[in-house]
Amino acid sequence: MADIFDVVIIGAGASGLMCAAQAGKRKKKVLVLDHGDAPGRKILMSGGGRSNFTNKQVRADHYICSNPHFCKSAISRYTSQDFVNLVDSYGIPHQERGHGQLFCEGSASQILDMLLTECCRAEVKIKMNTPVKKIEKLPSKMNSNNPVQFRIYTDSGEIDTASLVIATGGVSIPGVGATPFGYQVAAQFDIPVVPPRPGLVPFTLQPADKTILQPLAGISVDARVSSPLAVFSEKLLFTHRGLSGPVILQVSSYWQPGQTITIDLLPFNNLVDTLKDKQGSHPKKQLKSILYALLPKRLVNIRLEGFPADRPIISLSNSHFSQVASAFHEWQIKPGGTEGNRTAEVTVGGVDCNQISSKTMEARKVSGLFFIGELLDVTGWLGGYNLQWAWSSGFCSGLYV
């Protein structure tokens, strides 16, 4: 005989726990299933262990989605302030960092503990170490006098439920339990998936660039980086493997293999003007010395390769100035690729939102089946937007399951 629940949620992560707590508060009998041995493992990793749990400014244009309007409803019905109010009600101290990002002052575990307490108060049952073997949609004739719509098969038995929520997240960091399970469920019900790819991920370099740039590992500078679909200004970090730092992670979510990125190493400077000024005020100064005052020496030396770096600035022409400016303002690099799911913070793409109700997160063509969180084709920028999407989509679905 199968256990019967009103709601079964597969995935005890950010969105699944939020959905469970809301559904439980509505007196639904809720079960959360997860194949891992501990809930919320990505919450614990988030924000370097301090969880950048939301952002003060959350708008639809902070998200990448093939339907740019899709997330508007959920993020306006459960806002970042709503989540901050919840965090405050638990007395969890937090702080604002740049760009409106809100972090715990203590530890990300406080956010997870808060969600688990919310679930406990709402009498949600959480069952870990329980992989799902099969999901079956029960024949509609059985449904006429019976709310049960799905049967879930696990090693420890069968579970029947009226509503089934898939909250298994994206595929980045398989080491903490990420799987493509949610995409397989979508395929089972003929719901299309926008091809998933790693997002918020460092770039690797082509072998020739790697040889040249490896000595820069550890250097971090302010930069503006553009790709054909996006421009961001933040810190750029050179690493042993390639390029990282917030500006690269942001651009990576928009990048397609083969595309070239353009790096402006002096986004707050007009180098032609600076060089002309110095020509008047310090005519004997070497070109390289002027640039050493603006950027790390090792980086300047690499970008000045082939230029008369040792010559006094007075001996250089306007044409030299514009070529040097281009080397620093318009440095073009074609990344070799990305570090992939091993280090990506999110998955871009996912279950096609055009098949999902933006109000309830229910699949349009399968009554009782819901998809939430990162599993959907909704990817936030770096800065707390992905967790906010998990909270908003989890909360809204919790009102309708």
Ligand X SMILES: Cc1cc2nc3c(=O)[nH]c(=O)nc-3n(C[C@H](O)[C@H](O)[C@H](O)COP(=O)(O)OP(=O)(O)OC[C@H]3O[C@@H](n4cnc5c(N)ncnc54)[C@H](O)[C@@H]3O)c2cc1C
- Contact residues toward ligand X (CB under 6 A) are 10-16, 34-36, 39, 41-43, 45-47, 51-52, 131-132, 167-169, 172-173, 177-179, 181, 345-346, 373-375, 384-387, 390
Tell the smallest beta-carbon distance from residue 164 to ligand X (Å): 12
Q: Which is nearer to ligand X, 173 or 223 (CB)?
A: 173
- Give start and end residues of each alpha helix (H) in 293-377: 297-303, 318-329
Q: Which is nearer to ligand X, 109 or 262 (CB)?
A: 109
Tell the smallest beta-carbon distance from residue 142 to ligand X (Å): 25
User: H or E stretch including 237?
Assistant: strand 230-238
Q: Which is nearer to ligand X, 149 or 341 (CB)?
A: 341
What Rg value do the Cα atoms of the chain yield, rounded?
Answer: 25
Q: Which is nearer to ligand X, 76 or 184 (CB)?
A: 184
- Give start and end residues of each alpha helix (H) in 27-163: 41-45, 72-77, 80-89, 109-121, 140-143
Residue 226 contacts by C-beta under 8 Å, 6 or more apart in sequence?
232, 251, 261, 262, 264
Tell the smallest beta-carbon distance from residue 366 to ligand X (Å): 19
CB-closest chain residue to ligand X: 13
Residue that is written with structure tokens 């003007």 in the block: 273
Give me the amino acid identity at 175. Answer: G
Q: Which is nearer to ligand X, 132 or 205 (CB)?
A: 132
Tell the smallest beta-carbon distance from residue 52 to ligand X (Å): 3
Tell the smallest beta-carbon distance from residue 15 to ligand X (Å): 3
Q: Which is nearer to ligand X, 131 or 296 (CB)?
A: 131
Tell the smallest beta-carbon distance from residue 6 to ligand X (Å): 19
Tell the smallest beta-carbon distance from residue 396 to ligand X (Å): 14
Give me the amino acid identity at 274. Answer: T
DSSP class per residue in 218-231: T-EEEEEEEETTEE
Residue 93, classified by CB atoms within 10 Å of its CB into exposed (0-12), middle (13-18) or buried (19+), is exposed
Tell the smallest beta-carbon distance from residue 113 to ligand X (Å): 15
Q: Which is nearer to ligand X, 122 or 324 (CB)?
A: 122
Residue that is written with structure tokens 């072998």 in the block: 207
Q: What is the separation of C-alpha 181 from the centre of its chain, rounded to a whole number of angstroms?
A: 19
The CB-based long-range contact list for 315-322 (8 Å cut-off, 24+ gap) reads: 316/275, 316/279, 316/287, 318/272, 318/276, 321/271, 321/272, 321/275, 321/276, 322/272
Q: Which is nearer to ligand X, 193 or 375 (CB)?
A: 375
